[in-house]
């Protein structure tokens, strides 16, 4: 009992080595699956590992490998407000629907991104660190976090165009991949959707079912995706003989969709089709239409965009343009891991094709 069995502190490589009667180096090799280890010794080491209940210390390993084996998943917001973020503490002031994080997660979109990222990361033994970057201070923190080596790279999802984060990251020489093409070119890989094609699909569907007086509720026009969906819809309509399409700008929220629909209905009471740039707004539009006595799709056909959970929360369920968010998020993750493995690899972009999902609303 007086032997050197040290304090119960978690066992280290040293302990395992002693138990197995080999050197630390050998244990390390076995654990990391490096070849050139005598099978007999390998077995002995494994025994020792399970007897001692050894678990490698991540910090020690990271210190020498210079890899954190973690990636940051950052939701990056507007670039405007300088220091707006300092949300009141946690406990009391929560539930505050106006906080950036709360707003972000109110949109089913982000849950899908998380799903895709996690599904790709997990089989590889990695997990995302969730960060938000809606103020310049928060952005600095993200950069610092990466520079500290707390994460090997970043998956960035911007909610607004002109997001300065991608550029900051690129300048700092840090690894990152974006969800959606940045407003101004930055040497960083990204995944994106062929938004215009999606909008074209919606337009053609509306046209195909006979709508002749369609309008659209666009997304925020300072967001590339919002812009592209509008352009795609307008262009297609124009090409089919409808050069003028009423449009009201929304903010991708249900509420803004309701407001937009009210205006559209007031100004164009005879419309027979609506394309909303996302499902949340389409849902809002449906509510307003019904309140005004218009049946969907009988009087007015409605097409959404995204195929998010909101599409099924709607009655009738929304006909919508599917954006394969989970797949895109997984691909984004794959690109990042690739980049980490080959830092000099090329900057690439992967564009996904949308798909029309026909349900009840149009």
- Contact residues: DNA, CB under 7 A: 9-10, 12-14, 21-26, 28-29, 31-32, 35-38, 40-41, 54-57, 60-61, 63-65
Binding positions for a copy of itself, 234-273, rule CB under 8 A: 254
For the chain, the maximum distance between any two Cα atoms, rounded to a whole number of angstroms, is: 93
Q: Which residue has the tokens 């507007």?
A: 78
Number of residues that bind a copy of itself (CB under 8 A): 76
Query: Contact between 28 and a copy of itself (CB under 8 A)?
Result: no
Over its C-alpha atoms, the chain yields an Rg (Å, rounded) of 26
Phi, psi of 305 (to 5 degrees): -150, 135
**What's the rounded Cα separation, in Å, for the pair 359 and 93?**
41
Quote the least distance from Cβ 269 to a copy of itself, whole Å: 21
Minimum CB separation of residue 12 from a copy of itself in Å reads: 12
For tokens 């089989």, name the residue: 123
Sheet holding 355-357, edge to edge: 247-249, 214-218, 273-276, 301-306, 319-322, 355-357
- Helices 13-20 and 24-31: crossing angle, nearest 10°? 100
Alpha-carbon span 285 to 92, nearest angstrom: 34
Q: Which is nearer to a copy of itself, 213 or 334 (CB)?
A: 334
Partner interacting with residue 32 (select from a copy of itself, DNA, none; CB below 5-8 Å by kind) = DNA
C-alpha span between 314 and 274 (Å, rounded): 15
* Choice between 38 and 353, CB closer to DNA: 38
In the complex with a copy of itself, the residue whose CB is nearer, 36 or 148, is 148
28 binds, among DNA, a copy of itself, none (CB under 5 to 8 A by kind): DNA
Q: Which CB, 30 or 310, lies closer to a copy of itself?
A: 310
Of 140 and 291, CB closest to DNA: 140
CB of 128 to DNA, least distance (A): 22
By a kind-dependent CB cut-off of 5 to 8 A, residue 110 interacts, out of a copy of itself, DNA, none, with a copy of itself
Nearer to DNA, 1 or 64 (CB): 64
CA 330 to centroid of chain Cα atoms: 9
259, 263, 186: which is closest to 224 by C-alpha?
186
Beta carbons within 10 angstroms of residue 2's beta carbon: 4
Interface pick for a copy of itself out of 28, 42, 52, 101 (rule CB under 8 A): 101
* Token pair 């033994």: residue: 125
Residues 191-210 that bind a copy of itself (CB under 8 A): none
Give yes or no for a contact between 108 and 309, defined as CB atoms under 8 angstroms apart. Answer: yes
Of 41-100, which residues contact a copy of itself (CB under 8 A)? 55-60, 62-63, 68, 70, 72-73, 86-87, 89-96, 99
Mark the segment that binds a copy of itself (CB under 8 A) among 126-134, 227-235, 243-251, 340-348: 126-134
- 189 - beta bridge partners? 177
8 A C-beta contact, residue 142 and residue 111: no
User: Which residues ranging from 127 to 166 are in contact with a copy of itself (CB under 8 A)?
Assistant: 127-132, 138, 141, 144-145, 147-150
């Amino acid at each position: 009992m007086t032997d050197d069995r040290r304090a119960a502190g978690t066992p280290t490589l040293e302990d395992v080595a002693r138990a197995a009667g080999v050197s630390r180096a050998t244990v390390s090799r076995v654990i990391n699956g490096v070849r050139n280890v005598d099978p007999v010794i390998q077995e002995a080491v494994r025994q020792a590992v399970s007897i001692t209940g050894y678990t490698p210390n991540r910090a020690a390993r990271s210190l020498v490998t210079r890899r954190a084996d973690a990636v940051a998943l950052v939701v990056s917001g507007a670039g405007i407000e300088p220091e707006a973020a300092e949300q009141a503490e946690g406990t009391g002031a929560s539930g505050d629907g106006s906080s950036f994080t709360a707003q972000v997660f109110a949109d089913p979109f982000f849950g899908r991104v998380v799903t895709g990222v996690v599904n790709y990361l997990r089989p590889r033994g990695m997990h995302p660190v969730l960060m938000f970057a809606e103020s310049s201070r928060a952005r600095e923190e993200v950069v610092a976090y990466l520079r500290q080596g707390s994460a090997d790279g970043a998956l960035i999802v911007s909610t607004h165009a002109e997001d300065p984060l991608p550029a900051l990251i690129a300048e700092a020489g840090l690894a990152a991949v974006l969800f959606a093409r940045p407003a101004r070119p930055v040497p960083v890989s990204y995944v994106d959707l062929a938004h215009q094609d999606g909008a074209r699909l919606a337009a053609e569907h509306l046209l195909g079912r006979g709508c002749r007086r369609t309008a659209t509720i666009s997304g925020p026009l300072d967001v590339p995706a919002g812009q592209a969906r509008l352009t795609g819809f307008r262009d297609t309509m124009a090409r089919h003989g409808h050069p003028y399409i009423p449009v009201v700008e929304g903010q991708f929220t249900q509420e803004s969709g309701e407001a937009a629909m009210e205006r559209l209905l007031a100004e164009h009471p005879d419309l027979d089709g609506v394309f909303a740039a996302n499902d949340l707004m389409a849902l809002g539009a449906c509510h307003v239409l019904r309140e005004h006595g218009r049946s969907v799709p009988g009087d007015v056909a409605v097409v959404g965009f995204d195929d998010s959970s909101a599409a099924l929360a709607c009655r009738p369920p929304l006909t919508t343009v599917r954006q394969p968010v989970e797949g895109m998020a997984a691909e984004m993750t794959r690109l990042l891991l690739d980049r980490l493995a080959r830092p000099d690899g090329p900057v690439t972009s992967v564009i996904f094709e949308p798909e029309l999902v026909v349900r009840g609303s149009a």
